[in-house]
Amino acid sequence: MTMATARAPTPHSSLFKRILPRTLLGRALLIILSPLVLLQVISTWVFYDRHYDNTTKRLTQGLAGDVAMVIQMMVRNPGSVERLQIFRTAQRTMWLDLKYAEGARLSDTSTSASLNPFTSVLDRKLTTAMEEFVARPFLIDTRTLDKKILIEVQLAEGLLRVLVPRERLFSSTTYIFIMWMVGSSIVLFGVAVVFMRNQVKPIRRLAQAADGFGKGRDVADFKPEGATEVRQAAAAFLQMRGRIKRQIAQRTEFLAGVSHDLRTPLTRMKLQLAMLPSNAEAENLRADVTEMEAMVEGYLAFARGEGTEQPQSTDVSALLREVVGRMRGDTSAIDLHIEEDMTVPLRRESMRRCLTNLIVNAQRYAKQVTVRAGQREHAIEILIDDDGPGIPPDKREDAFRPFYRLDESRNPDTGGVGLGLTIARDVVRNHGGELTLEDAPGGGLRARIWLPV
């Protein structure tokens, strides 16, 4: 029998995930821009490999052909007068500035420019054209002069110097093509950013509405908008919100009805017990009726945790001082430490009930209670520590179950009806937070409340 093991992520995949944008807008733009950039690269390569190469080749061949024709005319008309007329005609019709130095020689007759990998495309193409059309020793200088190119050709009786304007070998198509590519890319990128931002905005509003509803805040102004799929998701969210609100309302109304129905017979039972003579059996019945009343009140408090109270901006620091101030008159001591003032939207009365339940539970079993609060990045953390016996780790989740009591004697004097922690966690979770039980650093139990900001 073999066991399948999960493959660990490779360094390449983790690197790719770190580089990949995390937002939907960034990934959508990446999907749009990747083919666009690839298209631009391919177009540039094809242009330079075909068009620019061929254009440069044709221009250099034309220049080399003009130089070859001038040399042929000089060979056929060796006189100085005829040579001067040839030079004037070449300058007027071919843009060639010609000079002839009798008896001069080339300092370097190497024509290996086409073999040098560091030379430019112009040098290589012009060298190839000169070798093809002139077939004489020559030297090309494309770097010394800014606006002209120097070509020296070795003739039998002297040296022909040719100055050619760079415009003869320059094609504006190259820069026009680059400008069009860059300009169109910028325009397309801008249009894509505007379009994608408008498409992502409804998704962000949906996420914010879901997050706010999860934190117990009202999102009545949320309306479906955007693409069809986003509208469908928004409509599903609104339907879910409506179902949850109806369920909460039905539950509250049901429990209110149960409370009314149960209180009436309990009141009659208390009146009848008051008329009975005092004996052991009557006292036991009175204790049972008192416990039933406490259970009904606790159940109603549990239901009120999801009532109609709306969130409002609440100073958590002031709320803690108020709750602790009311409870410091009991037998146990309470140490309160607040790092800073913190204000967040809360259901004030529900949160007061939550904090009161936790501190009451701590006071019931401990002599020293410590309450600390502070902001941790995007959350508020409240710690309630005591020095009591604590709760075993395997029973901490059970402690949050409704009507579950660690004290199995069911004695009201040693504990409540088992709804204090249930109500506290219910309130915290309705605010989008979490309540957990841990070991306190100094022994005992720690209740940790985490509330999102």
Q: Where does residue 167 rank: exposed (0-12), middle (13-18), buried (19+ CB within 10 A)? A: exposed
29-33, 161-165, 222-226, 433-437: the lowest-pLDDT one: 29-33
pLDDT given for residue 109 in this prediction: 43
* Region of residue 377 (phi > 0: left; psi between -120 and 50: alpha; otherwise: beta): left
Does residue 427 sit within a domain? Answer: yes
pLDDT given for residue 71 in this prediction: 92
Domain count, the chain: 2
pLDDT given for residue 399 in this prediction: 86
pLDDT given for residue 10 in this prediction: 56
Is residue 130 very low, low, confident or very high in pLDDT (cuts 50, 70, 90)? very high
Residue with tokens 């509405």: 209
What's the average model confidence in pLDDT over 348-354?
Answer: 87
Domain that holds residue 365: 309-452
Pick the more confident residue, 10 or 100.
Answer: 100
**What would the pLDDT profile of 43-100 be if each residue is shown by its tens digit?**
777 776 677 778 888 889 999 999 999 999 998 888 888 889 999 999 999 989 999 9
CA pair distance 400, 427, nearest whole angstrom: 12
In CATH, what number is assigned to the domain containing residue 93?
3.30.450.300
| Sign of the dihedral defined by the CA atoms of residues 212, 216, 220, 225, in that order | positive
In CATH, what number is assigned to the domain containing residue 405?
3.30.565.10
DSSP class of residue 8?
P
Which of 154, 171, 188 is where one domain is finished? 171
pLDDT given for residue 185 in this prediction: 79
Report the mean per-residue pLDDT for the chain.
Answer: 80
Position 307 pLDDT exceeds 60: no
What's the average model confidence in pLDDT over 150-155?
Answer: 92
* Region of residue 443 (phi > 0: left; psi between -120 and 50: alpha; otherwise: beta): left
In order, the DSSP letters of 106-167 are -S----GGGG-TTS-HHHHHHHHHHHHHT-S-EEEESSSSSSEEEEEEE-SSEEEEEEEEGG
Pick the more confident residue, 309 or 325.
Answer: 325
Does residue 195 sit within a domain? Answer: no
Residue type, 436: T
CA pair distance 96, 174, nearest whole angstrom: 24
Position 107 pLDDT exceeds 80: no
Does residue 3 sit within a domain? Answer: no
- 300-312 burial: b if 16+ Cβ within 10 Å, else e: bbbbbbbeebebe
Whole-number percent of the chain with pLDDT over 90: 18
Does residue 289 sit within a domain? Answer: no
What's the average model confidence in pLDDT over 10-24?
Answer: 67
**What would the pLDDT profile of 320-343 be if each residue is shown by its tens digit?**
999 888 887 655 678 999 988 888
Structure token digits, residue 137: 């020793």
Does residue 326 sit within a domain? Answer: yes
Residue with tokens 């071919």: 94
Q: Work out the end-to-end distance of the chain between its first and last CA atoms, rounded to an integer number of angstroms.
A: 50
SS3 26: helix
CA pair distance 388, 414, nearest whole angstrom: 14
Residue type, 305: G
pLDDT given for residue 303 in this prediction: 59
Does residue 148 sit within a domain? Answer: yes
Which of 171, 188, 218 is where one domain is finished? 171
In order, the DSSP letters of 259-325 are HHHHHHHHHHHHHHHHHSPP-HHHHHHHHHHHHHHHHHHHHHHHHHTTSSPPPEEEEHHHHHHHHHH
8 A C-beta contact, residue 124 and residue 113: yes
**What would the pLDDT profile of 390-430 be if each residue is shown by its tens digit?**
888 888 888 888 777 666 544 445 555 667 788 888 888 88
Does residue 415 sit within a domain? Answer: yes
pLDDT given for residue 298 in this prediction: 64
Does residue 247 sit within a domain? Answer: no
Which of 171, 190, 223 is where one domain is finished? 171
